[in-house]
């Protein structure tokens, strides 16, 4: 039988969140979920950038330290735009040219919010009504935020968590290829859901998905010198 503890925890969580934002209610009702269940949120997003522009921005932002600065700046609250611009300026990046490339609206569309939970060897999901239409192949990224590691109670904290999560997904792309990720994405935290089962259980990879543990190597010993970034 599923434990009643998660239901109590969820009620306590929303009571705490309601302290910061009055009227906060769960966006979707889920059945009782056991303490041992793995819970994560999925949501597809698409942006208004073309492939060429995206490649140019990736090259611009690949210098060491820029992504660290942007992650910290993403929690800037009302001064978010100013903080991000300052982070770029501090790294000698022309904010005017970056702004022209991005345009006025970066986020083009979002897909529905799905709450996923895996328990007893079975995976189930619930879709929050009214949270978007499926994007299909037009999606540029899929947020997969794990509930036990991203318990944020403020918009600023959530923004920073999303940036960190996307950096972890970039890291996973390199790890999937068996090579060391660039310095700017050698960070710990869950990226792609399917990569979570790769790390500790396989015994080959370090616990890159878990910021609470220690990482001893980033696969440099398996990476050709010309691919080390």
Provide the domain limits for residue 123: 5-227
Strand partners, 109: 46
How is residue 28 annotated by DSSP? S
The Cα angle at residue 67 between residues 86 and 199, in degrees rounded to 5: 160
Q: How far is CA 56 from CA 49, 50, 62, 97, in A?
A: 11, 10, 10, 11
Pairing relation of β-strands 114-119 and 107-110?
unpaired
Q: From the centroid of its chain, how far is CA 66?
A: 17
Number of domains in the chain: 1
pTM to 2 decimals? 0.70
Element (DSSP H or E) covering residue 125: strand 122-127
**pLDDT tens over the chain, length 229 residues:** 333 344 444 444 444 444 444 455 555 666 677 777 888 889 999 877 667 766 666 666 655 566 666 666 665 555 545 655 665 666 565 656 555 555 555 678 889 988 888 888 888 888 888 788 899 888 889 999 887 766 667 777 888 888 899 999 999 999 988 899 988 889 999 999 888 877 766 667 888 988 888 999 899 988 888 878 7
H or E element, residue 59: helix 51-60
- The alpha carbon of residue 90 and the mean position of all alpha carbons in its chain are separated, in whole angstroms, by 24
Check: CB of residue 25 under 8 Å from CB of residue 14.
Answer: yes
Query: How many other β-carbons are positioned within 10 Å of the β-carbon of residue 175?
Result: 22
């Amino acid at each position: 039988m599923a434990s009643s503890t998660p239901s109590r925890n969820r009620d306590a969580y929303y009571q705490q969140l309601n302290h910061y934002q009055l009227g906060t209610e769960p966006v979707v009702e889920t059945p009782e979920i056991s303490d041992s269940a793995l819970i994560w949120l999925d949501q597809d997003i698409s942006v208004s950038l073309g492939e060429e522009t995206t490649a140019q921005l990736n090259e611009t932002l690949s210098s060491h330290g820029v992504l660290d600065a942007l992650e910290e700046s993403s929690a800037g609250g009302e001064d978010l735009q100013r903080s991000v611009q300052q982070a770029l300026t501090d790294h000698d990046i022309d904010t005017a040219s970056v702004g022209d490339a991005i345009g006025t609206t970066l986020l083009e569309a979002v897909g529905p919010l799905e709450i996923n939970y895996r328990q007893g060897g079975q995976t189930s999901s619930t879709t929050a009504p009214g949270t978007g239409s499926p994007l299909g192949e037009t999606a540029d990224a899929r947020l997969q935020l794990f509930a036990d590691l991203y318990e944020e109670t403020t918009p600023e904290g959530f923004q920073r968590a999303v940036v960190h999560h996307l950096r972890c997904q970039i890291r996973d792309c390199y790890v999937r290829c068996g090579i060391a990720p660039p310095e700017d994405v050698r960070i710990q935290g869950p990226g792609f859901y399917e990569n979570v089962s790769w790390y500790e259980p396989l015994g080959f990879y370090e616990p890159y998905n878990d910021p609470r543990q220690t990482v001893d190597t980033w696969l440099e010993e398996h990476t050709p010198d010309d691919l080390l970034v």
